[in-house]
Structure 1
Amino acid sequence: MSRMSKLKKLAGLSAFAFAAMTAVNSVHAANWRYAHEEYEGDVQDVFAYKFKEYIEENSDHTLQIYRFGELGESDDIMEQTQAGILNFVNQSPGFTGALIPEAQIFFIPYLMPTDMNTVIKFFRESEAINEDFPELYADKGLELLKMYPEGEMVVTVDEPVTKPEDFNNKKIRVMTNPLLSETYAAFGATPTPLPWGEVYGALQTNMIQGQENPIFWIESGGLYEVSPNLVFTSHGWFTTAMMANKSFYEDLAPQDKELVQMAADYAFEEIIKHIDGLADEALAKIQKASDEVTVTRLNDEQIAAFKERAPQVEKKFIEMTGESGKELLNQFKEDLKEVQSN
């Protein structure tokens, strides 16, 4: 073989090797799918896009994000994640509670503090959040990547509420969550489970007389337009969870697992900055948009009347979840006590 022929052959082999390497890299570069429960610009949407930003800036992977309604309701996107159609999902324990009963712990009223600094410290340091919950989610085929708070829960009603008796004969919309229903029954209301897509119309037609959500969601969803009396009861924070299909996650290469974990950590830190002051901004927008809105902040004496009814919800939680729920609740309280004492 002539020297020129050898060079041509080597060049051909090099080109083939380069093409093969490129093909391998393109196979490893994936387009992942992620769905959440909120609208453009809401907290879960911001979290998702921060996660996407980190993934795409630090790998060849791309991430497709689907907002509320694009792939159905909350139950739909969870089913799609468990089936492997979606790789990632963001869903609040309000809906996950039917799948993972222990996740309903966030709906025990007055268990969680409402001071933002304490809440964030709890999510960072809690053993229940960071060690116990991942095991519970894993049993359902889900890799729990991050739990994070969105905002203090606010109740909107057809008239101002200052005591449990004011809830009598009022239908309050709740997520499809047995313990949340128990909470509003304890408060004196008639809990009415409804999917999110039906809430605005139900309030508008007086099919229901109230609902609860973080204030930014009340603003972005326009709920104040049809339910203008905002009541700050201090009974808890809205919590959500971002997770992956477990089989998908376990099949990832080690470097991709690390990438996903780093992206979730990055999105968490960014969302904590995002929610700081968000409630005040949302309330200001609501008050600017409507003269009919009233704001009621319960004082300590008024809160005490609602707190007196919380133990029956805690008792129901233990009945629903058994020994595992009781252990989780004890750990939860221990974690909160440690955070608050520090």
Structure 2
Amino acid sequence: MKRREFLTKAGIASACAVAGATVNAPFVHASQKSTIKWRLQTYAGPALAEHVIKPQIEAFNKIANGDMVIELYNADQLVPTGELFRAMQRGTIDAVQSDDDSIAAPVDVAIFGAYFPCASRYSLDVPTLFNHYGLKEIWEEAYSEIKGVTWLSAGAWDPCNFATKEPINSLADLKGKRVFTFPTGGRFLKRFGVVPVTLPWEDVEVALQTGELDGIAWSGITEDYTVGWADVTKYYLTNNISGAWAGSYFANSDKWDALPEHLKTLFRMSMDSSHYHRLYWYWWGEAHYRVTGGKLKLTTIPESEWQTVENEAIKYWDEIALKSPRCAKVVKILKEYNEVMKKAGNPYRS
């Protein structure tokens, strides 16, 4: 072969090799993409997390298809619940599922998280208030004033009822009872002689067995059976302090802002899926365990006497309204909403 022909053919071969490398480059790059990793801590212990968040996170991770993986941690597993907000702000954890009240969120509306006394009657009240009565916009405004944390979404959980070792048949029976409950709920229940006790979630069952606690006002009957509290209490009071727990999802703002839009959309959809799942799981469980549970005996305070609690709740609302103009706005919405529900009649309000 002549020298000129050799050089020409070699040049063509080199060009083809370069072209081949160029065509394959995106594939090589894609196979080496980095996966976004988050750590999310829930308020719930292991048995409860199986229902209230684990299905959501497993589905999200599957659909994200390697673009993102969320590691789920249970109550107090990485950070004590009361320190969750600050830990998220610092970036120690990336996201939280809890209520504003329990994680000590430094916003005025945090007091309405969890079980604000008598604010709701049914679980559907919570998403209705947020999506049709303006609470969503109020929460977004409040958290926009706090650096480092983004509020994402609120949904409903179960009602708040007493499960106790001794029967509660009147308000007088509540006096002196040491009860595990939420911060705001505890402050309200003090008016009826209840002694609120704060403990790590996983210590509650033992505290009921040892006598450190007389009962709990932390959930409805579904959770009492699911997490084992029905095994260490005997009675369940059908009157509830609130018809639904209002919980939220939060994220570290830098981590949230850094997500590509398709992952933000996917996470929002997974939150909605979780909200929906909880609505029917709790609605089923609250009736199912009352009828077929077999462990807890039901007691009821007469409606005429329980009206004292509801009247006191309205006084409490008015006190909270004085905290800030924004709190006053929320209380105004709650009053307007409940008035609409009463006028609508059954099945909204009797």
Structure-1-length-normalised TM-score: 0.84
The answer for the alignment partner of 1:318 in structure 2 is: 321
Q: Would the alpha carbon gap of residues 283 and 31 (structure 1) be closer, same or farther in structure 2, given more than 3 Å must change?
A: farther
Q: Matched residue of 1:70: which SS?
A: coil
Q: Mark the structure with the bigger radius of gyration.
A: 2
Cα contact 1:51–1:267 (8 A) shared by 2: no
The structural deviation recorded for 1:95 is 0.4
Structure 2 residue matching 1:160: 3-state secondary structure? coil
1: distance between equivalents of 2:69 and 2:50? 18
1:294 counterpart (292, 297, 304): 297
* Aligned with residue 110 of structure 1, among 77, 99, 118: 118
CA offset digits 1:236-287 (Å, max 9, x no partner): 0222111211221122223332232222223323332333312233445642
Q: 1:197 aligns with which of 185, 199, 202?
A: 202
Question: Which of 160, 163, 171 pairs up with 2:170?
Answer: 163
Establish whether residue 10 from structure 1 lines up as the match of residue 15 from structure 2: no
> Cα–Cα, structure 1 residues 200 and 44, in superposed 2: closer, same or farther, change >3 Å?
same
Q: 1:37–1:44: 8 Å Cα contact kept in structure 2?
A: no
The one-letter amino acid of 1:46's match is V
Q: TM-score, normalised by structure 2?
A: 0.82
Q: What's the counterpart of residue 73 of structure 1? A: 80
| Count of residue pairs the alignment pairs up | 330
Q: Which has the higher contact order (CA 8 A, sep 6+)?
A: 1
**Amino acid of the residue matched to residue 188 of structure 1?**
G
> 1:37–1:74: 8 Å Cα contact kept in structure 2?
yes
What amino acid maps onto 1:218 in structure 2?
D
Q: What is the root-mean-square deviation in Å for CA atoms of aligned residues? A: 2.7
Structure 2, unaligned runs of 5 or more = 1-7, 345-350
Q: Is the 8 A contact 1:145 1:242 kept in 2?
A: yes
Identity across aligned pairs (percent)?
A: 15
Mind listing any 5+ residue stretches in structure 1 that lack a counterpart?
Answer: none
Query: Which is worse superposed, 151-160 or 12-21?
Result: 12-21
Aligned-partner Cα distance in 2 for 1:278–1:122: 23
Q: Distance in 2 between matches of 1:163 and 1:239?
A: 27
Name which of 21, 29, 37 aligns with 1:31: 37
Q: How does 1:15-164 map to 2 (within 5 A)?
A: 15-23=24-32, 26-27=33-34, 29-40=35-46, 42=48, 45-54=51-60, 56-59=62-65, 60-97=67-104, 99-106=106-113, 107-113=115-121, 115-119=122-126, 121-128=128-135, 130-140=136-146, 141-164=148-171
Name the amino acid aligned to 2:215: G
Instruction: Tell me how far apart the structure 1 counterparts of residues 269 and 28 of structure 2 sit (CA, whole Å).
Output: 31
C-alpha separation in 1, matches of 2:125 and 2:326: 25
Matching residue of 2:3: none
* TM superposition shift of 1:201: 2.8
Q: Secondary structure at the match of 2:158?
A: strand
The 5 A counterparts of 1:268-307 are 268-283=275-290, 286-287=293-294, 290=295, 293-307=296-310
**Structure 2 contact 160–217 (Cα < 8 Å) conserved:** yes
Which amino acid letter does the alignment assign opposite residue 256 of structure 1?
L
Rounded Cα–Cα distance in structure 1 between residues aligned with 2:264 and 2:195: 45
The whole-number CA distance in structure 2 between the counterparts of 1:93 and 1:160 is 31
1:146·1:268 contact (CA, 8 Å) conserved in 2?
no
Report the Cα distance in structure 2 between the residues aligned to 1:282 and 1:259, rounded to whole angstroms: 34
SS of residue paired to 1:63 = strand
- For 2:141 and 2:230, the matched residues in 1 are separated by 38
Which residue number in structure 2 is paired with residue 254 of structure 1? 261
